[in-house]
Amino acid sequence: MEQTAAELAILLEGSVSGNPEARVRRLGKIESAGPGSVTFLANMEYEKFVYSCSATVIVVKNDFKPKQDLPDGMTLVKVEDPYRAFATLLDAYDNILKRDEGVHSSAIIHPDAIIGKGCAIGPGVVIDKGAVIGNRSELRANVYIGRDVTIGVDALFHSGVRILDRCIVGNCCTIQGGTIVGSDGFGFAPKDDGSYAKIPQTGNVVIEDDCDIGALCTLDRATLGSTIIRNGCKLDNLIQVAHNVVIGEKTVIAAQTGIAGSTTIGSHCLIGGQVGVGGHLKIANGSRIAAKSGVSASLVHPNGTYQGNPAMPIKAFQRFQIALRKLVRTERIKEKENT
């Protein structure tokens, strides 16, 4: 990657303040970016690093005005939204890093599998009978694709991803390393002797288009039917999605959240880290659930914000916390008076 400030300005729909021929070859953090780097300033708390770093180009907001002289040789590219502009740069850089198309000699591909045009199949990849891989998809080292799996176009699976039998992944999906899609749901029936009989999990997992799944997630196949991740969902690392769960479109879920079986989560929800969601619940569209909350009952009102364990409307939670602190202070006063 080597571009001039003028070329960056065209890509980011911005303007150059400084040397339009200034050249950059790499991306950098504003705290430590060196010569030949491009970085960005979106949060003004980091403005002090503008004057101390050695970046060649910094992407800033249109109305940015330096409070002191810029370092020698520094050029600004001014844009409407620096954070979004830098996301565009990262995406362009990521495309440069994509593997060349072709099948590595150590990959094992069943004769009945179908590989689309322009795919990159890395070392140690296994693609089983009846699998279909869409055009321009990239499967990095040691990915396993099970029987009769269907993968859409422009997919990117990082090392160690497992897509198990009969599961479906849509177009333009990215799945990070170590994630397993289609593992058995947690289904066991108690027996008279106190032991448990395993219930066969005969369904699959369907991930629709434009989804991003983080590293080391587990998405369990349905007992019957499908576990479904709708269009545009974004799941962080270390998330457990149990059998027959449905997650609505464009819902975002942070790390270490667990969702129990047969729960339906609406669209455009925001769920914080380490949230636990019970089974057979309904979460309304637009729900926002704060980190470490425990959801044990359905949340039926759209666009609500919830916190606590059990999760409750956030204003009720705040009143509860205020009352609890007052109670603690009162008890401490009583203890002092009695001593």
Residue 2 confidence (pLDDT): 84
| Catalytic site includes residue 243 | yes
Nearest-angstrom CA–CA distance, 321 and 304: 19
Comma-separated ranges of CATH 3.40.1390.10 domains in the chain: 3-97
The domain over range 3-97 is classified in CATH as 3.40.1390.10? yes
Residue 228 confidence (pLDDT): 98
| Closest to 304 measured CA to CA, from 268, 274, 257 | 268
Ordered per-residue pLDDT tens for the chain, 339 residues: 689 999 999 999 999 999 999 999 999 999 999 999 999 999 999 999 999 999 999 999 999 999 999 999 999 999 999 999 999 988 888 777 777 899 999 999 999 999 999 999 999 999 999 999 999 999 999 999 999 999 999 999 999 999 999 999 999 999 999 999 999 999 999 999 999 999 999 999 999 999 999 999 999 999 999 999 999 999 999 999 999 999 999 999 999 999 999 999 999 999 999 999 999 999 999 999 999 999 999 999 999 999 999 999 999 999 988 988 888 888 787 777 776
Architecture of domain 102-315: 3 Solenoid (2.160)
Nearest-angstrom CA–CA distance, 120 and 122: 6
Nearest-angstrom CA–CA distance, 330 and 322: 12
Comma-separated ranges of CATH 2.160.10.10 domains in the chain: 102-315
Write down the pTM of the prediction. Answer: 0.82
Q: Decide: 226 and 204 in contact? Cβ < 8 Å.
A: yes
104, 110, 158, 243: the catalytic one is 243
Which CA distances in Å does 19 have to 31, 72, 199, 251? 22, 11, 67, 42
Residue 82 confidence (pLDDT): 95
Cα torsion for 256, 260, 262, 266, to the nearest 10°?
-40
